[in-house]
């Protein structure tokens, strides 16, 4: 009896100390890992019709089909960052971050979509914002396009029109010329996966075209061409003088096998969602697995050819190699399997894959149920990217958790503690080449079709007050400490909780 008690104590102590060892081992932020925060133009700027700005597809969407937004709100004023960018920069500086990721509103810079008439007031706003960041020692990372293209271009077909690749490249060139001398990292396009499936395939976000999977695939096809053209142009005309880095952002979840050891469903889900865009850039063409499956499904539906468009050998070569880093937005993970009955995925994004994805209801969720706290899925993904593409430099360009607002955001701190720890482990233990980690997001903002009901900010914005006052949340001071010490800080637990988390 006594012996087994001593053994138990021994077990507890050794388990404790191995946990502590683990904690210490993966707490230090290495010198090669830069830490920043991000925002997107439509989500924060407001001033939707100020400074000669043109109408974007989001202005059009929220004004014409307001019922598509959960709380019928819009981004007309949003977080008012068009006027308050100096306050925002002060807050970023207080956080001690290395960089800030912002996006440019295409319609503010080119109101009628054409690079022939640049809106000087519009581009000046971005000069001012970027100058303010630089003056405060904060590196700017610029997303050229985060979902808000001019409505006039949508009227000509938007991403269904191959000419969009040319229009996008002309717009990108305006930004290289104007901002390139002071911006050393450009992201061409944010998440083709989400915009193409939810905005062109479906109706959830602007422009809500409802064109099904064929529409979504065509959208991705044209975006890959647009990205590659913009990347090549930078190489030909600007790289030698400006010496910046360029990439595109993929939205990738973690796909954990429902049945241990059964890896094909995970592989399939990964290639359909993440590989769809990333394979073309890092390996060449769409993944074989995706090409075969979509061809098969198309045949079964009686189509004369696959609904996944084909690249010519010239395009395959042209797109391949067009990234200086792997841009990664990651939020959560799923369990995946091949179902025995008909699939009931809540999004048709994976339907052609034949894979079923679900969340384990035991996994803790943020205010939106698809955002579950499952950090091991992030580790899985980082290792997958390492092995799939020969360990490219990875810039994590978004990572965050939604809640219902409030200043005591314990859950956000817990999420970031666990997720950043997973990154540190992937870097230090597994040799993953992660070079940037971006918290999402700086402010509470317009969260697309969720309106203002769900917030990601480290800073609360009073959305009902015309002054849009900013108040730092609890997570803000946690993050300040992380940056001050360059050391991951333990989560702050709510007063009622006195045990540590079991996610280690
Ligand atoms: C988008 C962000 C958005 C986040 C949370 C990402 O897909 O890039 O703009 O705020 O998801 O929903």
Quick check: is 448 in a domain?
A: yes
Domain CATH number, residue 466: 3.20.20.80
Whether the per-residue pLDDT at 494 is higher than 70: the answer is yes
Q: Are 397 and 460 in contact (CB under 8 A)?
A: no
Structural tokens at position 396? 């994590």
Test site for ligand 1: of 187, 445, 447, most ligand atoms within 8 A of the Cβ: 447
Number of separate domains in the chain: 1
| Ligand 1 in reach of 399 Cβ (< 6 A) | no
| Ligand 1 in reach of 39 Cβ (< 6 A) | no
Q: Helices 474-485 and 410-428 meet at what angle, rounded to 10?
A: 30
The pLDDT of residue 25? 77
- What's the domain range around 247? 32-485
For residues 206-232, give the mean pLDDT: 98
Whether the per-residue pLDDT at 16 is higher than 50: the answer is no
Quick check: is 6 in a domain?
A: no
Quick check: is 145 in a domain?
A: yes
Q: Is 261 left (phi over 0), alpha (psi -120 to 50) or beta?
A: left
The pLDDT of residue 466? 97
Using one digit for the tens of pLDDT, what is the confidence trace for 62-113?
A: 999 999 999 999 999 999 999 999 999 999 999 999 999 999 999 999 999 9
376 counts as catalytic = no
Out of 191, 258, 267, 422, which one is annotated catalytic?
Answer: 191
Dist CA 304 CA 2 (whole Å): 76
**Alpha-helical segments (H) within 26-102:** 41-44, 57-64, 81-95
Using one digit for the tens of pLDDT, what is the confidence trace for 420-436?
A: 999 999 999 999 999 99
Quick check: is 499 in a domain?
A: no
Q: Mean pLDDT in the chain? A: 93
Using one digit for the tens of pLDDT, what is the confidence trace for 303-329?
A: 999 999 999 999 999 999 999 999 999
CA of 193 to the centre of ligand 1 (A): 12
Contacts of 503 (CB under 8 A, 6+ apart): 373, 375, 418
Using one digit for the tens of pLDDT, what is the confidence trace for 189-218?
A: 999 999 999 999 999 999 999 999 999 999
Quick check: is 264 in a domain?
A: yes
* Sequence-ordered strand ranges (E) for 46-167: 99-103, 139-145
Dist CA 384 CA 250 (whole Å): 14
Quick check: is 19 in a domain?
A: no
398 counts as catalytic = yes
Using one digit for the tens of pLDDT, what is the confidence trace for 327-376?
A: 999 999 999 999 866 555 555 667 899 999 999 999 999 999 999 999 99
**β-strand partners of 459:** 443, 472
| Ligand 1 in reach of 444 Cβ (< 6 A) | no
Whether the per-residue pLDDT at 11 is higher than 60: the answer is no
Quick check: is 16 in a domain?
A: no
Backbone angles phi, psi at 465, to 5 degrees: -105, 135
Out of 178, 398, 422, 447, which one is annotated catalytic?
Answer: 398
Q: Are 169 and 238 in contact (CB under 8 A)?
A: no
Quick check: is 8 in a domain?
A: no
pTM, rounded to two decimals: 0.94
């Amino acid at each position: 009896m006594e012996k087994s008690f001593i053994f138990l104590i021994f077990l507890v102590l050794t388990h404790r100390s191995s946990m502590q060892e683990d904690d210490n081992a993966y707490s230090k932020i290495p010198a090669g890992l830069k830490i920043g925060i991000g925002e997107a133009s439509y989500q924060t700027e407001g001033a939707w019709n100020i400074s000669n700005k043109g109408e974007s597809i989001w202005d059009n969407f929220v004004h014409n089909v307001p019922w598509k937004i959960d709380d019928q709100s819009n981004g007309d004023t949003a977080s008012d960052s068009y006027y308050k960018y100096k306050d925002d920069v002060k807050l970023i500086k207080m956080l001690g971050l290395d960089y800030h990721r912002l996006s440019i509103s295409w319609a503010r810079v080119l109101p009628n979509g054409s690079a022939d008439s640049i809106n000087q007031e519009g581009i000046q706003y971005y000069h001012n914002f970027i100058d303010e960041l630089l003056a405060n020692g904060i590196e700017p990372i610029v997303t050229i396009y985060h979902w808000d293209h001019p409505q006039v271009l949508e009227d000509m077909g938007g991403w269904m029109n191959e000419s969009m690749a040319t229009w996008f490249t002309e717009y990108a060139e305006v930004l290289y010329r104007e901002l390139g001398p002071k911006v050393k990292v450009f992201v061409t396009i944010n998440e083709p996966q989400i915009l193409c499936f939810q905005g062109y395939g479906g109706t959830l976000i602007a422009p809500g075209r409802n064109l099904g999977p064929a529409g979504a695939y065509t959208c991705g096809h044209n975006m890959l061409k647009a990205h590659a053209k913009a990347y090549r142009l930078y190489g030909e005309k600007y790289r030698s003088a400006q010496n910046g880095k360029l990439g595109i952002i993929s939205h990738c979840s973690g796909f954990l096998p429902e049945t241990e050891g059964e890896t094909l469903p995970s592989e399939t889900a990964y290639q359909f969602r993440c590989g769809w865009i990333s394979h073309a850039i890092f390996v060449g063409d769409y993944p074989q697995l995706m090409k075969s499956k979509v061809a098969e499904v198309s045949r079964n539906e009686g189509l004369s050819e696959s609904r996944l468009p084909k690249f010519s050998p010239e395009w395959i070569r042209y797109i391949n190699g067009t990234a200086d880093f792997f841009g990664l937005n990651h939020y959560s993970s799923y369990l995946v399997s091949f179902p025995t009955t008909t699939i009931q995925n809540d999004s048709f994004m994976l339907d052609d894959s034949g894979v079923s994805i679900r969340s384990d209801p035991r996994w803790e969720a943020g205010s939106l149920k698809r955002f579950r706290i499952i950090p091991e899925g992030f580790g899985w993904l980082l290792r997958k990217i390492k092995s799939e593409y020969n360990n490219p430099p990875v810039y994590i360009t978004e990572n965050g958790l939604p809640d219902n607002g409030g200043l005591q955001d314990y859950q956000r701190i817990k999420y970031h503690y666990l997720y950043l720890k997973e990154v540190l482990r992937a870097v230090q233990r597994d040799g993953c080449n992660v070079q940037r980690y971006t918290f999402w997001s700086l402010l509470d903002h317009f969260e697309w079709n969720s309106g203002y009901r769900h917030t990601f900010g480290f800073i609360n914005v009073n959305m009902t007050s015309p002054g849009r006052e900013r108040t730092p949340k609890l997570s803000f001071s946690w993050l300040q400490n992380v940056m001050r010490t360059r050391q991951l800080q333990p989560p702050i637990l709510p007063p009622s909780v006195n045990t540590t988390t079991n996610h280690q």
